Copies of this chain bind each other. A is one copy, B any other.
Amino acid sequence: MNQPLSSTEENYLKAIFKLCEQSDKPASTNDVALALNTRAASVTDMLKRLAEKSLINYVKYKGVTLTSSGRTIATSLIRKHRLWEVFLTDKLNFGWEEVHEIAEQLEHIKSNELTNRLEAFLNFPKYDPHGDPIPDSDGNFQYRQQVLLADVPLHTEVIIVGVSEHETPFLQYLEKLNLILGAKLVIQESFEYDQSILVTINQSTTQNISAKVAKNIYVQKI
């Protein structure tokens, strides 16, 4: 009955979780296909199998949401992914731009004991290297109130607490600009014509930041 899921099945659950969380609506077949870099027909096949296992609520043509057991598995994957990311940066000194890909593999290791001991070994971190909250062993996230850098009013002092995009090139770029977690920013100017902003970083340099970048950085007011 409850045989372990394949990595493929797990990846579908994780994708559906993220899509539903983002939009608060059922995920469409196409969205899932896009997220997993696969085709709609493959998604339909898999949705039938996952529904059969009661991991998703799937109504033909109407999209998909996770059931409670599906959500438990998805959050466990996210928990493992983020704990491993902390391990890779804090213990093995990887850069935050390198860890996502390796954690994509490590998140599929099946051992609750391992996950829990890893968490303790890392001193129960609450956030991963990108500022994303790490769910506890019951699957509860400790959310933070945070806003996009793009939505911060002029002259407000803020601190970078997260990024919404985890791909290597983007994070490398941020690193180059000194836009790392914990950096203090003040928006000096906002340019209408391209939505870019002029930002002082750590009270030293002042940089122009594109709208695209500003929409991928989460900050908190100090």
Contact = CB atoms under 8 A, between A and B. Distances in A.
Interface of A: 88, 91-94, 98, 101-102, 105-106, 109-111, 113-114, 117-118, 121
A110 B105 contact: yes
Number of copies: 2
A92 B117 contact: yes
A132 to B, nearest CB: 21
A98 to B, nearest CB: 8
A117 B98 CA distance: 13
B105 A92 contact: no
A102 B117 contact: no
A88 B117 CA distance: 9
A11 to B, nearest CB: 15
A92 B83 CA distance: 14
Nearest to A117: B92
Contacts of A91: 121
B109 A105 contact: yes
A155 B104 CA distance: 54
A98 B101 CA distance: 27
B121 A111 contact: no
A94 B117 contact: yes
A105 B80 CA distance: 14
